[in-house]
Structure 1
Amino acid sequence: MFNKYKMDLQVKAPNNFSDSYTLNEAIALFYQKNGFGPIVGDREPLTVGVYTGCLIVPMPNIGVRHKYLKYHDMHHILTGYTVGRIGEGEVSAWELGTGSMFRHPILGVMNLIALSTGFFLKPKRIVHAYGRGLMSSNTYDLKTRQWIDANGDAPLSQLKQQKLESKKSVFMPWLRWVEFTFYLSAAMLIHAIVVIPALILRIVSYLLAGEPFIEIIKPAKRSDLY
């Protein structure tokens, strides 16, 4: 069953980065296309905006994020998922599927923050991304991080072969999907804790400013969904 699922995933997975790119070329192009600084150090403010529901909530830009940001970005490149709301939800689901929660709990919690937003918008895509993650491995382990840093001229295809849908089977797959249910429940709880007070504050602020209530609750057209 999982072999067939793996084949389906490979057909459906988007990828905007040619396998012929080197790792350094791919990461540089990723930063350029998304308007990021050319190096991680250019992207280290005290807080970072995180998609949580309809809001972008500032979160502390902690040391763990600094340490793993480059490799998280590499996951976007490997999977083809974007940096929009849905894309971040997809890459978070993929990382959870690969076991990010067991690699570092803070990484897992960061994934949960983005997971609920993506699930609200495109639940099938989030489930699909988690399934891809079950068949894949992340780049957060020390050995892989050192290999990436030391082999920037290696072709992207080499890292894909090592990490992307590289597993032949999943141990106790039913348990991993129970695990996903737990992740999704925790993500919804975090979503409620963060978004509901912020949304109430937003509504009160707009009402005090004299804005019509219908204009406050009307969803705005977004260009950052994907």
Structure 2
Amino acid sequence: MNQHTQDTSAPAESPLRGARADKLFAARLYVCTDARRAQGDLEEFLHAAYAGGASIVQLRDKGIDADEEIAALRLLGRVAAEYDALFAVNDRADVAALVGADVFHVGQHDLTPAQARQLLGPDVLIGRSTHDLGQARTALADPDVDYFCTGPVWETPTKPGRPATGLGFVRAVAELTGARLDADPEAAPVPWFAIGGIDEQRLPEVLAAGARGAVVVRAVTEAPDPRAAAGQLRSLLPA
């Protein structure tokens, strides 16, 4: 069994799942982007993000039609494979299945992780958004959750109406995950990422609060040089 499988009740291990889990465990920089229809440079941007140090790129574009989303995700999958990295689908399990996604991410009001697992099978990694400590605790204990995100740490236009959780939430999750490992040293760590308004200036605060990985959007998508921006963020994150 791969060392990063959460517990014996988790989905059965396979070589594909094991390889994806190893990449997830090593991931530190997670980039979310829209399909960049305004810029018309999705392929160029994806190469820049991965070359700069992103381990996971998620396509999150609420305004896109299904056929455009599938085409964009197939492109994302091809570029991710060139860098031996992961690519993620947001919300749409049907689309995730069609494009052979490595990762599927759900919010609190989307499919449950168990429902997503039923549709997608054991090999797709499933992530969950969490906005308070109770949700983080539930995600940490869920055998169908392979990683979770905590935030938004700062208010962000990519999550309109969602209040900031603050750095205190990051500290609380770091304590929660640390206590779990202290209580059971044999338990495999569950990766988690801070998200929400994180950029080069704020990332050191997030790391000081206990996070080891971060999800970023505008810090890379709006950068004049996305590769350089991703590279600078990755240089600040732990190995």
TM bin (shorter chain):
under 0.3
Which structure's relative contact order is higher, taking Cα pairs within 8 Å and 6+ residues apart? 1
TM-score normalized by the length of structure 2: 0.24
Structure showing greater radius of gyration is 1
Greater strand share, 1 or 2? Answer: 2
